Amino acid sequence: DKEAFPFEGGTAYLERDIIVTGEQVVGARAGFDENSAPQVNIDLSAEGGQIMHRVTRHAVKRRMGVLFIERKTRKAGTSIDESGDTVPVYEEYYDKRIINLATIQSALGAAFRITGLDSQAESAELALLLRAGALAAPMRFIEERTIGPSLGAENIALGVKSVVIGLALVVVCMLAVYKVFGFAANIALAVNMILIVAVMSILGATLTLPGIAGIVLTVGMAVDANVLIFSRIREELVSGAKAQTAIKTGFERAFVTIRDANLTTLLAAIILYGVGTGPIKGFAVTLSIGILTSMFTAIMGTRAIVNLMYGNRRSATLHI
């Protein structure tokens, strides 16, 4: 036996068999998956987890609906009170609506997640409704207000501010210590930031606070690579090598160290992606992208800029 409900401009038919109710919902919270896409993480009680596993293991690839049942009151008519005044009469009724309809990908248990949501706002609302369904007592609206996401916006603004401040300090330090070569490194660093944002945009990833932390770490790693290269060039100049020889040898000898350091960090990022939860996976994705782009800009980008400035000057004096 099925019951029809309006859903997303169409009609969805749900079987009347109830798997679990709000009483088995221990918690529901909005989060992000490994690709920084919004999701809802749901925790059930031990009993609810057993029921969910028993039912869903035979229903893989079938759709499961989340039905929100709210007890409301409405005006049913009027009556005459003892003083002879006409007063409204209210009755209670149940408002049923589908808040999510998802495909079961595998057998579920006491902890599972709902993915494929369109926005962070949708995941937050779904988590809120799931938690509300766990309440034993009905709720009645006395007053309703809409509050903007000022706290989240403030955190993101502070995160972006930290990136800007860190980048500015790095730019100033590189110019002060390495002069013209520092200018080349700063250009490569700016290109690195553009590449990170471009790759994340192509992947459709959402920039979260863990992602911003990954970008800040990437800035430091990109500068480390340039510092290694420039230190090798200085050593070659001190040993008496000519300008072009010092540049060529410096980049070649620093490459192995840069490669090994970045590969070990990339390996750590892959492990974080494999065993971490949503925010940790978002940090790992951003860090992995930053490692690859920083290696490209530090080795290829900086070298191209340096060769452009000193490539045709055989007796050039290196400002490093």
φ, ψ for residue 243, nearest 5 deg: -60, -50
Residues 320/230, Cβ–Cβ less than 8 Å? yes
- Is the Cβ–Cβ distance between 39 and 32 less than 8 Å? yes
The total of other beta-carbon atoms located within 10 Å of residue 306's CB is 23
Q: Which two tokens stand for residue 25?
A: 């919902």
pLDDT exceeds 60 at position 139: no
Cβ-contact 175, 186 below 8 angstroms: yes
Residue with token string 């009724």: 93
What whole-number distance in Å separates Cα of residue 25 and Cα of residue 135? Answer: 9
Query: What is the number of other CB atoms lying within 10 angstroms of the CB of residue 109?
Result: 15
> Model-level pTM greater than 0.85?
no
Long-range contacts: 21-29, Cβ < 8 Å, 24+? 21/133, 22/130, 22/132, 22/133, 22/134, 22/135, 23/134, 23/136, 24/48, 24/51, 25/130, 25/131, 25/133, 25/134, 26/134, 27/131, 28/126, 28/127, 28/128, 28/130, 28/131, 29/127
According to the model, what pLDDT value does residue 132 have? 79
Per-residue pLDDT reduced to its tens digit, 215-252: 888 888 888 888 888 888 888 888 888 878 888 888 88
**Distance separating alpha carbons of residues 189 and 200, to the nearest angstrom:** 17
pLDDT tens, position by position, 4-51: 888 888 888 888 788 888 888 888 999 988 888 899 999 999 999 999
Virtual torsion, Cα 298, 303, 306, 309, nearest 10 deg = -130
Rounded Cα distance between 213 and 147, Å, is 27
User: Which tens digit of pLDDT belongs to each residue from 95-127?
Assistant: 888 989 999 999 999 999 999 898 988 999 999
Q: How confident is the model at residue 1 (pLDDT cuts 50, 70, 90)?
A: confident
- How many Cβ atoms are within 10 Å of 104's Cβ, its own excluded? 18
**What pLDDT score does 211 carry?**
81
